Amino acid sequence: MRRLAVIGMGIIAILIIIALLAPVIATHDPTEINLKEAYLPPSSGHYFGTDGLGRDLYSRIVYGTRIALMIGIVALGIATIIGIALGSIAGYFGGKADSIIMRFVDIMLCFPSFFLILSVIAFIGPNILNVMIIIGATSWMGIARLIRAEVLSLKSRDFIVASRALGRSNFYIILRHIIPNGIGPVLVNFVFGVAAAILTEVALSFLGLGVQPPNPSWGNILIEGKEAMAVCWWIVMFPGMAILVTVMAFNLLGEGIRDMLNPRLRK
pLDDT bracket for residue 197 (50, 70, 90): very high
Q: What are the boundaries of each domain within the chain?
A: 2-23+53-265
Asked if pLDDT for residue 266 goes beyond 70, the answer is no
Domain 2-23+53-265 has CATH 2.40.110.20: no
pLDDT recorded at residue 241: 94
Asked if pLDDT for residue 40 goes beyond 70, the answer is yes
pLDDT recorded at residue 144: 92
Kindly report the average pLDDT of the chain as a whole number.
88
Most confident of 1-10, 49-58, 159-168: 49-58
Across 60-70, b (16+ Cβ under 10 Å) vs e yields: bbbbbbbbbbe
- 0.85 exceeded by pTM: yes
